[in-house]
Amino acid sequence: MPILPPQISKDAKILLAARAVRAFGDGLASLLLPVYLDHLGYGPASIGLIVTVTLLGSAALVWSVGLWAHRLDLRLTLIAGALLTVGTGLGFAGFTQFWPLLLVAAIGTLTPTGGDI
């Protein structure tokens, strides 16, 4: 007797589709950031430093939110994360000099999460 897969609810399908789109966007951003920095004229060491700081900053943010999320309003935390992501994108698009880009990389969030990897 064949085992049939369980029925997937409409909400689960929407959630899975949203995660897929987010994972694609995160991956695309992770690939395009070095290309963008190269286009701005940065060398491999500068690009590597900015990308590394982006990873470390995002990891620190995930760790911090993980420690404190149970004490925070989840809706406001989600809104703050969304605004930080938008601000990070605007910061990378608006700045072209090294130190402001490094600051945006450190305090912003742009990289994929462990769940996406």
Give the integer Cα–Cα distance in Å for 115 and 104.
Answer: 23
Rounded to the nearest angstrom, the gap between the alpha carbon of residue 33 and the centroid of all alpha carbons in its chain is 12
Give the model's pLDDT for residue 97: 96
CA pair distance 115, 56, nearest whole angstrom? 16
Cα–Cα nearest to 62, from 24, 108, 98: 108
With cut-offs at 50, 70 and 90, classify the pLDDT of residue 2: low
Q: What is the pLDDT of residues 49-62, one digit of tens each?
A: 999 999 898 888 88
Q: What is the CA radius of gyration of the chain?
A: 17
Specify the range with the lowest mean pLDDT, choosing from 38-52, 62-76, 82-96.
Answer: 62-76
pLDDT for the residue numbered 58: 86
Residues 6+ apart with CB under 8 A from 112: 23, 26, 27, 30
pLDDT at 41: 96
Q: What is the pTM of this model?
A: 0.78
